[in-house]
Amino acid sequence: KKAQTENFITKFARYYTPVVVITAAAIAVIPPMVISGASFSDWLYRALIFLVISCPCALVISIPLGFFGGIGGASKRGVLVKGSNYLEALNDVETVVFDKTGTLTKGVFKVTEIVTREGYSKDELLELAAFAESYSNHPIGVSILKAYGKEVDRSRIDTYDEISGHGTKVVILGEQLSSGMLKLMKKGKEVLAGNAKLMKKENISYDEVTAVGTVVHLAVDKEYAGYIVISDEVKEDSAKAIQSLKALGVKTTVMLTGDNRVVADKVGKIIGLDQVYSELLPADKVEKVEKLMNSKSSKGKLVFVGDGINDAPSLALSDVGISMGMRGSASAIEASDVVIMNDSLSKIPEAIKISKFTKKIIKQNLIFAIGVKVLVLVLSAIGIANMWQAVFADTGVTLLTILNTTRILRKK
């Protein structure tokens, strides 16, 4: 996964080396034949000087080493980059797209409100929600199970269906009697737990909720039973990270989420995002990323930042996918190109800074190496440069570019 600059230098060396060798041979043979009084030994010496100077090792070594240094410097700071092509791409970031839950927010949910319809108590509604989320590893489901605080008797669950982007549907058998015996029922209760889209899909009349938080609606046998509000906190460094990205030249910051519009808009406003798209299914997120990819400039790069299973397609589709290493799912980490080990968003602008500094060092090495070589080559062609100067133009320049490259690791 080499960077474009590395690939260019490899191709350059492939053609450059035979051209230089042929030119050196021509310098040794042709002048003595066409210039009267020219000494073959003198021109052979000049040809050897030319050959030593023109050796491309300073370029071939220092450029890959620069990218290795950048990857090493990033990993030292808790940012794992899976290839130098991704490190180079971070230098031209134009658009950064974020998932919300677990990325911009902590992903630590807490039940803050339970509202019931007639015939249900708060404890009963929470118990039904716990059954509905008993097999879920989503932060919302985990928060409901935590609020329930008891072990869910999974033997009572007849069927369990997870409806992507909507919620869950379970059929619960029997009910527990005070004696501890299980009262069998001919037909279990069908419990639906999910967002407003699930209620609309099942044609169930539900309460419109404007609370700030994720709302889980519940229905029993197609009858609305109430809702639970679950709140999540914005990460402390989210707003600062967005400001830093803007300062580094990122033109557009976007949030994609399946949450309701009220919550999404509030989070977007707190953080300072340019665009917010809410109430999206996983497929909708991919579609939005595709549109944003098509709308960016030819040189600009799009970064997608996410942590969940549903984010994996978007992470793979973007120019650079960044995942959260602590709370991120295995599929998101696998699909991403960069992994932030401590889930801190401030590491994203830091990674971009490392990329820009790496590119700066590589440019310095290129200009210095080519400049010195061209100067000494001209001097050798007119007979001024000697072998010692040729050795400096080759090995000396190589060592200096390597020393310059080590600045990447020492950069604070």
Active site residues: 99
What are 156's two structure tokens? 């009572």
Cα dihedral sign, 124-129-134-139 = negative
> What token pair was written down for 137?
């590893």
CA–CA distance, 128 with 138 (Å, rounded to integer): 17
Maximal C-alpha separation, the chain = 119
What is the rounded CA–CA span in Å between residue 186 and residue 172? 11
How many CB atoms within 10 Å of residue 326? Answer: 13
Please tell me the total number of residues recorded for the chain in this structure: 412
Strands (E), 165-206: 167-172, 175-176, 182-183, 189-194
Which residues neighbour 218 within 8 Å (Cβ) at sequence distance 6 or greater?
125, 128, 129, 132, 191, 192, 193, 224, 225, 226, 227, 228
